[in-house]
Structure 1
Amino acid sequence: MSSGSEENLKMIDLKTVGWLGTGRMGAAAAHRLLDAGHPVTVWNRTKSKTDPIAAAGATVVDTIPELAGNDVVFICVSASKDLEEVVIGANGLLSGDLRPKVVVDCSTVSAESSALVRERAAELGVAFLASPVSGNAHVVAEGGACLIASGPREVFDAVEPFLNVLGKVAVWAGEEEQARLVKLAHNLYLGMMVQALAEVTTLAEKAGVPRANFLEFLNGTVLASDWVRKRTPDLVALDFTPTFTATLLRKDFDLGLAAARREEVPMPVGATVHQAIQAAVGLGHGDDDLLSLYAVQAKISALKGEDK
């Protein structure tokens, strides 16, 4: 982004908001902006999925370029190639003569794709902020999400009021793609934590301790966390209704371990958990919640009655 564009950005009062991608996460976040009084225009590949947010007051458009008239456009998509397609593709956000002032991407994607989109946007005088979100759709809806952002500091400062609506904290990490690595490190840790929980819970159960009792004890110790406490009822009930799927977790481990190789950082625990996630996907849990790692651990441990 040119210094002239950054100077112009400081003088712009960002008011109108576009939201591209209204899946579980995107819809929850866009709802928060609506509830805060911001006018929001949305697009989603499957238009019927925009019905609930349209009922809440959002304007729905038929094509991505129709979002470009907004001051700032947020994006929430599943994969790196999706980000490239919806922003710099032939029919993407920046394909027409009308362009937003700022693009904020809340997806979890590779640093390479993010840098490519950032470069193309800068060539067109559009500011770009990488701002992935920590928290599932329920957490976002409750205002408990955390956002990590990277890009020019002037861009972060201009967008920060919106980020503070989306979550309880927004942290600036640097001028380039640092936010991408932070989010991948976060999701690597999440996967390692869930696999560890699956292993120790299975061990206790196979030794004769009821799953609910073991988790009640664990949640009272210094090893407890808000995430485990919140997900304990689901694990006790073996409810794998997706909040974050095993397939999406595998994608983030693919990206995170690739980043570790580039940085020459060994990750023996992460590499092992990567294979456990692959096993969950291979056994048909790809569209289930990441708690389905427990189902795999129970199965390979021959835990009777826990073969869901």
Structure 2
Amino acid sequence: MSEQQTVAVIGLGIMGGPMAANLVRAGFTVTGYNRSPQKVERLVEAGGRGAGSVAEAVAEADVIITMLPDSPDVEAVVTGDEGLIAHARSGAIWVDASTIRPDVAVALAEQARAAGLRALDAPVSGGEQGAIDAALSIMVGGEQADFDEVRPVLEAVGKTIVLVGPSGSGQTVKAANQLIVAGTIGLVAEALVFLQAYDVDTDAAIQVLAGGLAGNRILDRKATAMVAGEFTPGFRIDLHHKDLGIVTSAAREAGVAIPLGALTAQLVGATRALGHGDLDHSALMLLIQQLSGRTPR
């Protein structure tokens, strides 16, 4: 795949915006569309092109990337008279980097293939900082040949890029990822509130915990901000709540018990119900503090 090929990015939010900018920096011709025109203008300022509709964005694209909040959003953009399938050129590769239900990913991939497109579900992990740093982990479902062809595009936005199986597999692996991340955030939050209750030097405690078997990315990336009560969203509670709904539904369908995951999903839902949906998912700590009768510091 040459650098002159055109990439369309649909959805220029917290994740899609930096991804599109990194594609521009990598030398690709990038056309972006977003319902909020200000985000399109940001891409244009970064050297990309703007489009006024999905149809306009995808018309000449060799690769189309969608980065949207939920399954209905992807369905709305992909299907219908003004959708991606109706207006993309035959043979184009559609990469859905959104996090959606695996069954929806499979159904949409089948529709896209029937229309002459090549579909990959390729959800990402790494949050806003990973998107900015072009260091995302990308789990891909689809055909090997399509994956191989689009890999240079994915390498412009990600660091760990793995084909994990046929269509829908990327979304299944992403569901497992979100299960682990939410559970880890919950345990880190509990540990920090526990340390605070005993007036331990939390910065020192984070340092030593991160260096041992308890070490994890949440401690590395989020614990200091959690202690400071800073929950500027890199990935919002609202979105993780949605993702855990995908996990619990898929696990039930497969007959898999996820007792810790189900409890974590309830805790994330409760945090959202308290009005913290727009905060970073590490704001789960606010609920732990409240349940512990402790005032956030």
Separation in 2, partners of 1:173, 1:254: 22
Separation in 2, partners of 1:285, 1:214: 27
Separation in 2, partners of 1:295, 1:48: 32
1:34 aligns with 2:34: no
Change (3 A) 1:165 1:247: same
The aligned amino acid for 2:272 is V
TM-score (ref. length: structure 2) = 0.95
**Contact 1:245 1:289 survives alignment (8 Å):** yes
3-state SS of 1:168 partner: strand
Identity of aligned residues (%): 29
Worse overlay, 74-83 or 231-240: 231-240
3-state SS of 1:40 partner: strand
Worse overlay, 165-174 or 181-190: 165-174
The aligned amino acid for 1:232 is A
1:211 aligns with 2:202: yes
1:152 aligns with 2:143: yes
Map of 1:293 onto structure 2: 284
**Contact 2:184 2:218 survives alignment (8 Å):** no
**Contact 2:9 2:30 survives alignment (8 Å):** yes
Separation in 1, partners of 2:248, 2:134: 30
Separation in 1, partners of 2:192, 2:222: 13
Separation in 1, partners of 2:184, 2:217: 13
Separation in 1, partners of 2:124, 2:285: 25
Q: 2:56 aligns with which of 61, 66, 77?
A: 66
The aligned amino acid for 2:230 is D
Separation in 2, partners of 1:13, 1:111: 31
Map of 2:133 onto structure 1: 142
Unaligned 5+ residue runs, structure 1?
Answer: 1-10
- Using the TM superposition, give the Cα deviation of residue 140 of structure 1 relative to its aligned residue in structure 2, in angstroms: 1.7
Separation in 2, partners of 1:170, 1:31: 19
TM-score (ref. length: structure 1) = 0.91
- Using the TM superposition, give the Cα deviation of residue 91 of structure 1 relative to its aligned residue in structure 2, in angstroms: 1.7
The aligned amino acid for 2:53 is T
Worse overlay, 232-241 or 259-268: 232-241
Map of 2:46 onto structure 1: 56
- Using the TM superposition, give the Cα deviation of residue 161 of structure 1 relative to its aligned residue in structure 2, in angstroms: 1.2
Map of 2:7 onto structure 1: 17
- Using the TM superposition, give the Cα deviation of residue 98 of structure 1 relative to its aligned residue in structure 2, in angstroms: 4.5
Change (3 A) 1:139 1:44: same
Map of 1:114 onto structure 2: 105
Unaligned 5+ residue runs, structure 2?
Answer: none
Map of 1:4 onto structure 2: none
Separation in 2, partners of 1:104, 1:201: 39
Separation in 1, partners of 2:287, 2:4: 48
The aligned amino acid for 2:208 is F
Map of 1:186 onto structure 2: 177
Separation in 2, partners of 1:96, 1:75: 14
Map of 2:84 onto structure 1: 93
Map of 2:262 onto structure 1: 271
| RMSD of Structure 2 on Structure 1 (CA) | 1.8
Separation in 1, partners of 2:4, 2:99: 24
The aligned amino acid for 2:72 is K
1:127 aligns with 2:118: yes
The aligned amino acid for 1:119 is E
